[in-house]
């Protein structure tokens, strides 16, 4: 919106606010978030966003390799809590602090292609995490039994360091793990021309 509000189309109404109104008209479907200008969308904390299990999915079009470009961040390094969905040197990754106080990371060997819209989904459930690229399983790893709870806001994109370095569209958050079939369905539905 013109006042920098970013509207959540789900029934949860987790509306956010963009710091710089980073937006392009030609995204995957309609407009898209511009993560090349060091913008952040902030969404207030809700317990559903700190769920025990979750899936984060979206369409990405990256311009160049970035070191730890932030996609979806509910992460507090100082308090050792929460999780962060990133892209590091074109490789999707999930980084988190476990309730055990340890730091964990899962990343893919497969790189995203610069200048191409690709769908990425990451899932977490106690003990396990998966990453899908274009609907296909790309990485799987053992994880902690629980994520350290974080009551901070969600940040989409990043200002200053760790900018996304590309464009983001049709970002989805589920407070449960989607099956591989469901990930494929979300990719198909959100990838259709509007």
pLDDT band at 193 (very low <50, low <70, confident <90, very high): confident
The most confident of the ranges 4-8, 63-67, 121-125 is 121-125
The most confident of the ranges 31-35, 128-132, 150-154 is 128-132
The most confident of the ranges 40-44, 71-75, 133-137 is 133-137
The full 3-state SS of the chain, as one line of letters, equals CCCCEECCCCCCCCCEEECCCCEECCCCCCCEEECCCCCEEEECCCHHHHCCCEEEEEEEEECCCCCCEEEEEEEECCCCEEEEEEEECCEEEEEEEECCCCEEEEECCCCCCCCCCEEEEEEEECCEEEEEECCEEEEEEECCCCECCCCCCEEEECCCCCCCCEEEEEEEEECCCCCHHHHHHHHHHHHCCC
- What is the distance between the alpha carbons of residues 63 and 53, in angstroms, rounded to a whole number? 31
Residue-wise pLDDT for 61-101, tens only, equals 998 888 888 899 998 888 999 999 999 999 999 999 999 99
Looking at residue 96, what is its pLDDT?
Answer: 94
Query: CA distances (Å), 192 to each of 11, 43, 131, in order?
Result: 21, 26, 22
Looking at residue 38, what is its pLDDT?
Answer: 80
Decide if 108 contacts 93 (C-beta within 8 A).
Answer: yes
What is the average pLDDT value for the chain, to the nearest integer?
92
- What is the distance between the alpha carbons of residues 86 and 88, in angstroms, rounded to a whole number? 6
Decide if 54 contacts 69 (C-beta within 8 A).
Answer: no
Looking at residue 11, what is its pLDDT?
Answer: 86
pLDDT band at 192 (very low <50, low <70, confident <90, very high): confident
Looking at residue 165, what is its pLDDT?
Answer: 86
Token readout for 73 is 């961040």
Q: Which residues contact 179 (CB under 8 A, 6 or more apart)?
A: none
Looking at residue 194, what is its pLDDT?
Answer: 57
Looking at residue 140, what is its pLDDT?
Answer: 98
The most confident of the ranges 7-11, 63-67, 77-81, 141-145 is 141-145
């Amino acid at each position: 919106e013109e006042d920098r509000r970013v509207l959540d189309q789900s029934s949860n109404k987790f509306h956010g606010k963009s710091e710089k109104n980073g937006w392009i008209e030609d995204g995957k479907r309609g407009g898209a978030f511009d993560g090349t200008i060091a913008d952040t969308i902030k969404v207030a904390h809700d317990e559903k966003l700190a769920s025990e299990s979750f899936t984060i999915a979206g369409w990405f079009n990256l311009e160049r390799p970035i070191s730890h470009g932030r996609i979806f961040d509910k992460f507090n390094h100082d308090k050792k809590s929460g999780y962060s969905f990133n892209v590091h040197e074109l490789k999707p990754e999930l980084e988190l602090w476990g309730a055990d106080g340890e730091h964990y990371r899962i990343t893919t060997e497969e790189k995203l292609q610069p200048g191409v819209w690709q769908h990425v989904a990451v899932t977490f459930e106690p003990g396990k995490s998966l990453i899908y690229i274009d609907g296909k399983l790309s990485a799987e790893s053992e994880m902690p039994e629980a994520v350290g709870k974080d009551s901070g806001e969600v940040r989409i994109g990043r200002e200053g360091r760790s900018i996304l370095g590309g464009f983001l569209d049709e970002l989805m958050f589920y407070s449960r793990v989607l099956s591989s079939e469901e990930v494929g369905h979300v990719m198909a539905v959100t990838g259709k021309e509007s």
